[in-house]
Amino acid sequence: MDMKNQKIYYNEDADLNLVKSKTVLVVGYGNQGRAQSKNLFDSGVNVLVGLRENSDSIKKVKQDGLNPIEISLGVKKADIISILIPDQTINKVFCEKIAPFLNPDHTLLFSHGYNIYYKKIIPPLNVNIIMVAPSGAGLIVRKAFKKNSGVPNLIAIHQDYSRNSLKLALSYSKAIGGTRAGSFLSTFKEETESDLFGEQAVLCGGIPALIKMAFDVMVESGFQPIVAWYVCFYEVKLIVDVFHRNGFKYMYNSISETAEYGGLKQGDSIINEDVRHKLQTILKDIQTKKFFNEFEKDANNNFVKLNEMRKIKFESLFEKVTQSLK
Ligand SMILES: NC(=O)c1ccc[n+]([C@@H]2O[C@H](COP(=O)([O-])OP(=O)(O)OC[C@H]3O[C@@H](n4cnc5c(N)ncnc54)[C@H](OP(=O)(O)O)[C@@H]3O)[C@@H](O)[C@H]2O)c1
């Protein structure tokens, strides 16, 4: 695959003045909301933070030197509405607090394509709908920005009513530090499906489950939990740092021959064709909306199923050992 054709946008490709000429309402002051608001403010952008009435975050926003405002009042004053609240709450907030006050000058901005791609919300045709999705948690987005660096952003345009949405998205990306690291074009479909697949298959599904099972096997075979914990969990961070620096080949060159031989042989025996089929099913369930329907059903049922899974996972010996050592 020729990666040379993948356009990556850097600071010189984006005009900060575009977003600085607008008022941005950031709805929500959590993980992404706080980080993006502070970065926008430090870049000289006029930011309002949209919160629900009596929100506990009003005090925090004021302490950070920013201006809180009730969401629908903020929509009336803003040009760009950056919706940074949990994905399962966006539908209700959008219908009640945002949609009734939209006009053709508005741009709706998301950091995840979920609500638009799965058509949980269908905004009017006469607004821009764009995405600037940082590839990292809010804390990292803020930390990198303060170090004069940034986290890469995935950018997508779903509706380009004003005919300058890409320029606007790049300008916002520059203001939160994204184009310092590099921002690249995607689509709402690709971002949503890839984000969900990455979470389920690798980041929050496959890796934690493999660690936990390997830990359980060692403890069941008589190893001390602390020994199993160090080798299966603690050392993950060390090895990830090594291959993150320059890839797997570099990692294999940096370890012993015993580790390399055992790793290459057994890696393929664990992650075999059965696993490939399971991964394909996970992706299919995302693409056919099966996962979406299941998740939404549980979200509408007060997360009964999620809470059951939490109970089983979080009361394990592995978690107890982690808490005692952290
Ligand atoms: N978390 C990440 O690392 C990450 C990374 C990339 C993209 N994203 C995307 O960024 C978006 C925001 O995610 P997040 O993790 O930053 O969210 P979050 O931290 O869970 O959002 C918390 C904020 O949402 C507000 N909120 C919650 N329910 C609300 C409601 N019903 N009405 C009004 N406000 C409500 C809270 O208000 P109060 O202050 O009043 O409690 C709080 O300010 C999502 O689309 C997500 O997919 C997240």
| Cβ atoms 133, 196 nearer than 8 A | no
Say what the pLDDT of residue 6 is: 79
Band (pLDDT 50/70/90 cuts) for residue 326 is confident
Give CA torsion, residues 296, 300, 301, 302, to 10 deg: 110
In a domain, 191, yes or no: no
Decide if 193 is inside a domain. no
- At 256 the three-state DSSP class reads coil
Q: What is the pLDDT of residue 43?
A: 98
Q: Is residue 252 part of a domain?
A: yes
Same domain for 236 and 182, yes or no, is no
Do both 217 and 140 map to the same domain? no
- According to the model, what pLDDT value does residue 2 have? 58
Residue 198 lies in a domain: no
**For residue 255, is pLDDT > 80?**
yes
pLDDT tens column, 109-163: 999 999 999 999 999 999 999 999 999 999 999 999 999 999 999 999 999 999 9
Number of structural domains in the chain: 2
pLDDT digits (tens, 9 = 90+) for 41-82: 999 999 999 999 999 999 999 999 999 999 999 999 999 999
Within-domain flag for 178? yes
Is the pLDDT confidence value at 1 over 60? Answer: no
Ligand 1: distance of its center to the CA of 4 in Å?
35
For residues 152 and 220, membership in a common domain is answered with no
Structural domain contains residue 285: yes
Q: Give pLDDT, residue 261.
A: 97
User: In this structure, are 90 and 212 located in the same domain?
Assistant: no
- Last residue of some domain: 186, 221, 253? 186
Domain range for 277 is 205-325
Residues 68 and 106 in one domain: yes
* Opening angle at CA 181, ends 179 and 182, nearest 5: 55
Q: Could you give the residue ranges of the DSSP H alpha helices within the chain?
A: 16-20, 31-42, 58-63, 71-77, 87-93, 114-117, 138-146, 165-175, 178-181, 188-197, 206-220, 225-229, 235-253, 257-270, 273-287, 290-299, 304-314, 317-325
Ligand 1, atom nearest to 55 Cα: 40
Neighbours of 186 (CB within 10 A): 18
Asked if residue 194 belongs to a domain, the reply is no
Q: Which helix (H) or strand (E) holds 67?
A: strand 67-70
Same domain, 210 and 318: yes
pLDDT of residue 105: 85
> Ligand 1: residues within 6 Å at CB?
28-33, 51-52, 55-57, 84-87, 89, 93, 111-112, 133-134, 137-138
- List the catalytic residues: 112
